[in-house]
Structure 1
Amino acid sequence: MSLFKIGIPLSILVVGILSSCQSKMTKDKLRENIASVLQEQPGLYAVAFKDLSTGEEVLINERESFHAASTMKTPVLIEICRQVVAGKFSLTDSIVVHNEFKSIVDSSLYTLDKKEDSEQELYNHIGEKRSVSSLAYDMIIASSNLATNMMIELVGARNVTQTMRNLGAKNIQVLRGVEDSKAFQQGLNNTTTAYDLMVIFEKIAKGEAVNAEASQIMIDILLDQKFNEIIPAKLPKDVKVAHKTGNITGVNHDSGIIFLPDGRKYILVLLSKEATDENAAIEAMASVSGMVYDFVVRSKK
């Protein structure tokens, strides 16, 4: 019988799980506890956790394909840095802000709806110049769709996907920018798995995404993330999270690097789809993040 469905709040369920595991928890027990929380929620969830100090992993539905939503903006950021290092352009180069893009289906033009974008200020500056670094920053921390489409136009979606392959992420697929409705209607969407996002965030954390300097630039941007309802929500304030979220109807994602005050760090990816109660899904995933943190902290004791 489902505890959640008969009216026991998720918070009580999580407290019960944690209080029953005050001794040192194994990763198998952690996996079991995570599954207990997530199975109470409608929809499908994926988890990929890796402790970079011990190498321990907990993986649930890690190879399941999800609509990437805005998590694809991290691969785009990596490709921006790769091309900067390759000398194709500079972070200080400027681009004229515009809102007209070509569909990957037939090259017909489309525009973005300002009201559908989480960052709207940039639309007030169409026709003006903005630096690549400024656009990349807005793409990540405010999840600007307008900035994202300009960055994909700059670096090329195919190049983003190829760089993911080179990094070992075999199933991240970046095909297009945002709001390409013709592509969407044909099922041409950006996709990812929890495992692949774990792979690329581990590369960033280890200074291996392009190089150490570029990886640190990416971390500094990701640390400024404005949307903090999932991974950071139940963590202590002195824990830093360099992460990127993603959200569309029925889909809520978060993925990133968690930095503990003692210098340890771990990767956590939480993906969901077909969720009928967004708030409950977010609460459940935030609780999972808290459980993972408790596991990592206790593992040192």
Structure 2
Amino acid sequence: MAFSTYRVAGLTILILCLSVMCLSGFCQSGTSTKLEQLRQQVNQELAKQQGTFAVAFKDLETGQELLIREHEVFHAASTMKTPVMIEVYKQAAQKQLSLSDSLTIKTEFKSIVDGSPYTLDAKTDSDTNIYKYIGTKRTLADLVYDMIIVSSNLATNLVIERVDPKKVTQTMRDLGAKDIQVRRGVEDSKAFSQGLNNTTTAYDLMVIFEKIATGQAVSSEASNDMIRILLDQRFNTKIPAKLPKDVKVAHKTGSITGVLHDSGIVFLPDGRKYVLVLLSKDLKNEPAAENALATVSALIYNYIKG
């Protein structure tokens, strides 16, 4: 009698264990299927456009990723300003500088090719306000803020001259971003003509934004302050464009002719967050491509929401 009871109990436990394993496998299979469906939707949307696109998405709660051409090299455009910001906070943490340090506003810089001078002009800068302050001083904190939220080229050159682009690139390597290259400031035409550009991959931008999102870029305090700045981004026509108003995006865009990028952290009202990087090049219709990137962002958000 006792033997029969134990045997029945053992069979019951075995059946329960098998059921749990099957259910777990079903859930994993279901999730995998949904992620593959998302991949197809994203590819279909981007295939409507002439150009080359890369996508890197990571759900920071589950670790799930969607990667498309994630290691392809793109001109970084203004996405390189996020690595520069990280380097500023790193050097501040190491007491090599202070965010309260003041820099004199100037417009002349030296080409990395031969040291010859080149000048920045308000006409080719998204930030024209800073040119009113030529000859005066502004804090490094203010310049970093303008470099990110209005993508100020002049602020960028002042900051990168202070921290050294080689150090920026080395810090990216230390964070696990193996391909980002930060070589120079903005509008160095001699360097551009020789192909000496700042470059990135979607994967590397995903890596550094994950570090910021998880408090591992310099420190938790520094990461939180960088998120504060990134949340104030003024250019919101790509990742945030088709998302609900209560979804917050801490991000940095980038654009030059035929190139449109966006990269950042998406914060949901329920506390979940994910990293999304959208890169593009060789675009023939930039407004249509920008709309497609916004649509891809919405597709990924809907996937996360379930």
TM-score of the aligned structures, taking structure 2 as reference length: 0.89
Aligned to 1:171: 179
Determine if the alignment matches structure 1 residue 221 to structure 2 residue 195.
Answer: no
Pick aligned residue for 1:87 from 82, 95, 104 = 95
Could you give the per-residue CA deviations for residues 152-196 of structure 1, whole angstroms, max 9, x where no partner exists?
Answer: 000000000000000000000000000001101111000000000
Note the C-alpha offset of 1:269: 0.2
Note the C-alpha offset of 1:113: 1.9
Return the alpha-carbon distance in structure 1 between the equivalents of residues 262 and 113 of structure 2.
Answer: 29
The structure that has the greater radius of gyration is 2
Instruction: Map residues 188-203 of structure 1 onto 2, 5 A cutoff.
Output: 188-203=196-211
Aligned to 1:107: 115
Pick aligned residue for 1:271 from 276, 279, 288 = 279
DSSP 3-state at the match of 2:236: coil
Note the C-alpha offset of 1:85: 0.3
Aligned to 1:156: 164
Return the alpha-carbon distance in structure 1 between the equivalents of residues 36 and 177 of structure 2.
Answer: 25
Could you give the per-residue CA deviations for residues 8-56 of structure 1, whole angstroms, max 9, x where no partner exists?
Answer: xxxxxxxxxxxxxxx9761111111100100110000000000000000
Moved over 3 A (4+): none
Determine if the alignment matches structure 1 residue 204 to structure 2 residue 188.
Answer: no
Aligned to 2:143: 135
Deviates more, 1:100-109 or 1:224-233: 100-109
Structure 1: which amino acid aligns with 2:198? N
Do 2:107 and 2:121's aligned partners in 1 also have CA atoms closer than 8 Å? no
Structure 2: which amino acid aligns with 1:56? Q
Number of equivalenced pairs: 276
Structure with greater helix share of residues: 2
DSSP 3-state at the match of 2:138: strand
Structure 2: which amino acid aligns with 1:61? R
Determine if the alignment matches structure 1 residue 50 to structure 2 residue 58.
Answer: yes
Q: What is the percent sequence identity of the aligned residues? A: 64
Return the alpha-carbon distance in structure 1 between the equivalents of residues 35 and 221 of structure 2.
Answer: 33
Could you give the per-residue CA deviations for residues 244-290 of structure 1, whole angstroms, max 9, x where no partner exists?
Answer: 00010000000000000000000000000001100000000000000
Return the alpha-carbon distance in structure 2 between the equivalents of residues 59 and 89 of structure 1.
Answer: 37
Instruction: Map residues 281-296 of structure 1 onto 2, 5 A cutoff.
Output: 281-296=289-304
Structure 2: which amino acid aligns with 1:219? I
Do 2:237 and 2:294's aligned partners in 1 also have CA atoms closer than 8 Å? yes
DSSP 3-state at the match of 1:258: strand
Determine if the alignment matches structure 1 residue 123 to structure 2 residue 131.
Answer: yes
Pick aligned residue for 1:26 from 34, 43, 50 = 34
Return the alpha-carbon distance in structure 1 between the equivalents of residues 291 and 297 of structure 2.
Answer: 10
Pick aligned residue for 1:184 from 192, 202, 209 = 192
Return the alpha-carbon distance in structure 2 between the equivalents of residues 245 and 31 of structure 1.
Answer: 23
Could you give the per-residue CA deviations for residues 60-111 of structure 1, whole angstroms, max 9, x where no partner exists?
Answer: 0000000000000000000000000000111111111111101001111111
Unmatched 5+ stretches in structure 1: 1-22
Could you give the per-residue CA deviations for residues 199-255 of structure 1, whole angstroms, max 9, x where no partner exists?
Answer: 000000000000100000100000000000000000000000000000100000000
RMSD: 0.9
DSSP 3-state at the match of 1:134: helix
Note the C-alpha offset of 1:114: 1.2
Return the alpha-carbon distance in structure 2 between the equivalents of residues 228 and 99 of structure 1.
Answer: 28
Structure 1: which amino acid aligns with 2:127? E
Structure 1: which amino acid aligns with 2:93? V
Structure 2: which amino acid aligns with 1:79? E
Do 2:111 and 2:118's aligned partners in 1 also have CA atoms closer than 8 Å? yes
